[in-house]
Amino acid sequence: MSNQQADKRTASQRIDDMERGLMALYQTADNMARDLMTIKEAIKLLGNKLDSVVKATQRGEALNDETIAKIMVENNIEELKEKVTNLVGQGVLVATEEVTAQSFVVGRELGDDGSVANPRMQFVVSALNPDVRDKFPGAKVGQILTLQEGKWKFEVLEAYNIVTPQAPQAAAPEAAAAQESEPTQAES
């Protein structure tokens, strides 16, 4: 009974206090999730670096920053290629020759002198800044686009249309009908 006498807050005050407590818990959990993502990225980077050291050693190359950085870029390129290959295999991406405003594009950044500044970039065109985005529709695979005069160019290496997966409900009646028409093992 002494607890009830000591706590003379109204129900709305107690709810306010609970909300503040929950918000603090939510913020703490959000910070922890962010920290975990940072740790995950750091471990991934260290794994890439270690893999690069092993590859350089196996190839008999000098273990210096330049060699390790070059191999790390090669590893990143392979990882990006695998992601695209998986999306193509899943039917999410379908190759095309012409870029649209909704295309997924793979290319490389070139300097004004034609040297490769970034060997692989991949993105959805619609996610770009409007100044840059508007230069992509109509571009063909193999074409070099001047995105910012005097700053950088982009060579389109691959272009894909993004296929929206069909809802499973549409496939369910067809699958049920096919299953009904097939004899089961017990029937055959």
Q: Do the Cβ atoms of 56 and 68 come closer than 8 Å?
A: yes
User: Per-residue pLDDT tens for 87-125?
Assistant: 999 999 999 999 999 999 999 999 878 889 899 999 999
Contact (Cβ atoms closer than 8 angstroms) between residue 88 and residue 95: yes
Q: Give the model's pLDDT for residue 98.
A: 95
91-162: CATH architecture: Roll (3.10)
The DSSP H or E segment spanning 37 is helix 11-59
Residues 6+ apart with CB under 8 A from 46: none
Q: What are the residues whose beta carbons fall under 8 Å from the beta carbon of 87, sequence distance 6 or more?
A: 93, 104, 160
* Nearest residue to 132 via CA among 162, 112, 152, 116: 152
DSSP sequence for 110-161: E-TTS-EEEEEEEEEGGGS-HHHHTTSTT-BTT-EEEEETTTEEEEEEEEEE
**pTM for this predicted structure:** 0.65
| pLDDT at res. 114 | 81
Q: What is the pLDDT of residue 111?
A: 85
Rounded CA separation 27/4 (Å) = 31
Tokens of 76: 């990143």
List the chain residues with pLDDT less than 50: 1-2, 175-188
pLDDT at 8: 84
d(CA 146, CA 97): 19
Going from N- to C-terminal start, the domains of the chain cover 1-88, 91-162
pLDDT for the residue numbered 112: 79
